[in-house]
Amino acid sequence: MLHLRVISPPELSDGVLEVLDEAVGVVNLVVLPGAARSPRGDLIQVDVAREAANEVIEALRSLGLCTEGSISVEEVDLSISEAADRAQEAAPGDGDDAVIWAEFSQQAEDDSRLTWAFLAFLAIATQLAAIGVITNSPILIVGAMVLGPEFGAIAAVCFGLLRRDGHLIGRALRALAIGFTVAIALTFACALAARWLGWIDPSSLIDHREINFIVKPDKWSFIVALLAGAAGVLSVTAGKSSALVGVFISVTTVPAAGYFAVAGALGRWSDMAGSSAQLGVNIAGMIISGTVTLLVQKAYWSSFDMRLSARPRRI
């Protein structure tokens, strides 16, 4: 279940209540006239089945509440109520499969921004991957894969392609491009310093068979990227953050960036070409499959949305 808190100007409250009374999957409706002070208006609270939330949110937005009032949405961790159970049964589909498009849109906007935190996490992850490459440590490389924050920006690109939003696509690609450029540059500088100190030399990358997959992209690399992109989008839209960790471990974007920086510092040009190809293959594959996954989800839930209001409420 989702909990909606609506602040509505008095003149819009009748329309809000009409929407909530007619919608499927709505329960625990509470109205407090004049309770809101900033912005001023009526406070209306309601629980909505996750699978019915899109229609309710869009109907409320169409009333102008985004400018005249406020709509807040949060997850209900525990609901002990037979009425809530009946509301969920009345709503079509399954809550675990539902995509809350307004929530995903907000997340995509946030993840497409270039922030200091994004740069810091990506730079640290890339340097950990570089150390893993030098020491031939798959454990360090896996840790770097989990730490990397790049999937949020990739998901934002997918959502931008779905909405045909050039601004969102451009901002997310800019975050990826600048983020990886900064991370690689910092790692390259550290690798040069390590070479100057005599800690590493061109032979440091020889016979590291356990991590050769980072610089040898093939058909399996692309297939893994496709699967990871689909799984990543599903985990984000379904709110299954635990599954997203598996996505991070599956693709070698950050390790490829780390290997590229180390290979550049050591003058291993062929390895630089292989790792850059691996990075490109992974990002492209995830964008393709992520966008297709969103298209499938949109088509699937559109069939439910068209008949959501037509079904009787059994609460």
**DSSP secondary structure code for residue 261 in this structure:** H
What burial class does residue 47 get, using C-beta atoms within 10 Å of its C-beta: 0-12 exposed, 13-18 middle, 19+ buried?
buried
Residues whose CB is less than 8 angstroms from the CB of residue 202 and which lie 6 or more positions away in sequence, other chains included = 266, 267, 268
The tens-digit pLDDT sequence of the chain (315 residues) is 899 999 999 999 999 999 998 888 898 999 999 998 888 999 999 999 888 888 899 889 888 888 888 999 998 888 888 888 888 888 777 767 778 888 888 889 998 999 999 999 999 999 999 999 888 888 888 888 888 899 999 999 999 999 999 999 999 999 999 999 999 999 999 999 999 999 988 888 776 666 777 777 888 889 988 998 898 888 888 766 656 666 667 778 899 999 999 999 998 888 888 889 989 999 999 999 999 999 998 887 776 654 444 444 433
Shared domain for 118 and 67, answered yes or no, is: no
* Alpha-carbon distances, residue 110 vs 34, 104, 107, 113, 128 (angstroms): 33, 10, 5, 6, 25
Shared domain for 88 and 180, answered yes or no, is: no
Shared domain for 125 and 244, answered yes or no, is: yes
Shared domain for 192 and 67, answered yes or no, is: no
Last residue of a domain, one of 66, 98, 130: 98
Q: How far is the first Cα of the chain from the last one, in angstroms, to the nearest whole number?
A: 15
Shared domain for 194 and 274, answered yes or no, is: yes
Shared domain for 176 and 218, answered yes or no, is: yes
Alpha helices in the chain (DSSP H): 10-22, 53-62, 65-68, 82-90, 101-111, 116-135, 138-147, 150-163, 166-196, 219-237, 241-250, 253-266, 269-305
Q: What is the total count of domains within the chain? A: 2
pTM of the predicted model, to two decimals?
0.83
Shared domain for 164 and 139, answered yes or no, is: yes
pLDDT of residue 236: 84
Domain carrying residue 249: 104-301
pLDDT of residue 75: 86
pLDDT of residue 38: 86
CA neighbor of 269 nearest in space, from 193, 215, 221, 219: 215
Last residue of a domain, one of 98, 126, 158: 98
Q: What is the phi/psi pair of residue 222, to 5°? A: -70, -40
Query: Is 311 within a domain?
Result: no
Shared domain for 110 and 27, answered yes or no, is: no
pLDDT of residue 182: 96
Query: Is 312 within a domain?
Result: no
What burial class does residue 315 get, using C-beta atoms within 10 Å of its C-beta: 0-12 exposed, 13-18 middle, 19+ buried?
middle
